[in-house]
């Protein structure tokens, strides 16, 4: 009857919520098995020195091929891995595997690896990095870890100390997705970053939003005075490349040059680059 319809609607939402939670729980269980089952793979996306036009680094990007559901995006499974703490083990696999791969590259190419705030806080991060470098033979100065502003929120003293320990290994530290979090330009002075990666949302806005232009200009200016390099993320068009170059970004990363690709395809890209090192895009 009419009386029951409100309740029915409520139950409908409740059931939907239950279904969503069940789906998430199922994914979580599958994620627990993914590492052992060998369902993860790393892809690599080049970062290009804008002035010279050569690949200066490659970022390792994690891919999960689910046995039934196919490819699942990191934006979906990384948050689950973080909430469950699985990211620590997964992240360890990422560092180890990526270092082994990067040790095969030319000595001019740096490896960039994303580190989740949860993994950053774990006790053994410094040890894992040390072991991965030793086992692979990758020189420390060719490893760059990418962290986000989220790590700067808590325990500033401890965070500073750990960043210092990592720097002491000789590796580089990049601030990823700059501008999307709790950005404070003050962080740039406090923490020993080597690179600022300007989030793709600002690059998207460059052609028609004067605000984005002002922000990118401010960041490159400041980064320059702190001797940090700047990477423009998500560069998709020649127009955007021209603008970020004009605004003083030192590096670009984006579909204009290349999407993330398998280790094998990356090797082909390196070969092509060797033949004609100055061809842009």
Residues lying near ligand C2E in the complex (CB under 6 A) are found at: 45, 60-62, 73-75, 78, 91, 94, 114-116, 146, 176-177, 200, 234-236, 253-255, 260
Q: In the bound complex, what is the minimum distance in angstroms from residue 270's beta carbon to ligand C2E?
A: 19
Q: Which residue is nearest to ligand C2E (CB)?
A: 254
179 binds, among Mg ion, ligand C2E, none (CB under 5 to 8 A by kind): none
111 binds, among Mg ion, ligand C2E, none (CB under 5 to 8 A by kind): none
Which phi-psi region, left, alpha or beta, contains residue 222 (left: φ > 0; alpha: ψ -120 to 50)? alpha
**In angstroms, what CA-CA distances link 15 with 19, 24, 122, 171?**
6, 14, 37, 49
- CB closer to ligand C2E out of 14 and 242: 242
Region binding Mg ion by CB under 5 A among candidate stretches 102-110, 116-124, 177-185, 224-232: 177-185
DSSP 8-state secondary structure symbol assigned to residue 261 = B
Q: In the bound complex, what is the minimum distance in angstroms from residue 104's beta carbon to ligand C2E?
A: 19
Q: How many CB atoms lie within 10 A of CB 261?
A: 17
- CB closer to Mg ion out of 147 and 243: 147
Region binding Mg ion by CB under 5 A among candidate stretches 43-51, 101-109, 119-127, 170-178: 170-178
- CB closer to ligand C2E out of 167 and 204: 204
Residue 57's H or E segment, with its range, is: strand 55-66
Question: Which position among 92, 146, 149, 194 is part of the footprint of Mg ion (CB under 5 A)?
Answer: 146
Can residue 101 be called a binding residue for Mg ion (CB under 5 A)?
A: no
Q: In the bound complex, what is the minimum distance in angstroms from residue 114's beta carbon to Mg ion?
A: 4
Cα 268 from Cα 173, distance rounded (Å): 28
Per CB under 5 A, which of residues 230..249 are in contact with Mg ion?
233
Angle between helices 74-84 and 2-34 (to 10 degrees): 80
Can residue 92 be called a binding residue for Mg ion (CB under 5 A)?
A: no
Instruction: Measure the N-to-C terminal CA separation of the chain; round to a whole number of Å.
Output: 65
- CB closer to ligand C2E out of 203 and 215: 203
Cα 101 from Cα 146, distance rounded (Å): 18
Region binding Mg ion by CB under 5 A among candidate stretches 6-14, 169-177, 208-216, 273-281: 169-177
Contact, 115 vs 125, CB < 8 A? yes
Residues 6+ away with beta carbon under 8 Å from 46 = 55, 57, 58, 253, 257, 258, 266, 269
Q: In the bound complex, what is the minimum distance in angstroms from residue 235's beta carbon to ligand C2E?
A: 6
Q: In the bound complex, what is the minimum distance in angstroms from residue 143's beta carbon to ligand C2E?
A: 14
DSSP 8-state secondary structure symbol assigned to residue 194 = S
Q: Calculate ∠ Cα 56-225-185, nearest 5°.
A: 95
Interface ranges with Mg ion (CB under 5 A): 114, 146, 176-177, 233
């Amino acid at each position: 009857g009419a009386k029951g319809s409100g309740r029915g609607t409520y139950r409908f939402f409740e059931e939907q919520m239950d279904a969503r939670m069940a789906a998430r729980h199922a994914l979580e269980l599958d994620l627990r098995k993914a590492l052992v089952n060998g369902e993860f793979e790393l892809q690599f996306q080049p970062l290009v020195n804008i002035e010279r036009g050569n690949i200066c680094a490659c970022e390792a990007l994690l891919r999960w091929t689910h046995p039934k559901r196919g490819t699942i995006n990191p934006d979906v499974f990384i948050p689950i891995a973080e909430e469950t703490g699985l990211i620590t083990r997964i992240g360890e696999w990422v560092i180890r595997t990526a270092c082994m791969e990067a040790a095969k590259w030319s000595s001019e190419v740096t490896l960039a690896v994303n580190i989740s705030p949860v993994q950053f806080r774990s006790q053994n991060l410094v040890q894992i990095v040390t072991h991965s470098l030793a086992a692979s033979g990758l020189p420390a100065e060719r490893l760059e870890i990418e962290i986000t502003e989220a790590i700067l929120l808590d325990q500033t003293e401890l965070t500073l100390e750990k960043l210092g320990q990592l720097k002491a290994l000789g590796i580089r530290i990049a601030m990823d997705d700059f501008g999307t979090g709790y950005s404070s330009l003050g962080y740039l002075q406090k923490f020993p970053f080597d690179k600022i990666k300007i989030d793709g949302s600002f690059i998207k806005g460059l052609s028609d939003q004067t605000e984005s232009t002002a922000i990118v200009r401010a960041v490159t200016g400041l980064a320059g005075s702190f001797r940090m390099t700047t990477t423009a993320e998500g560069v998709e068009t020649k127009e955007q490349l021209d603008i970020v170059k004009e605004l003083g970004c030192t590096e670009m990363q984006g579909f204009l040059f290349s999407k993330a690709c398998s280790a094998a395809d990356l090797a082909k890209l390196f070969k092509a680059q060797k033949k004609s090192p100055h061809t842009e895009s």
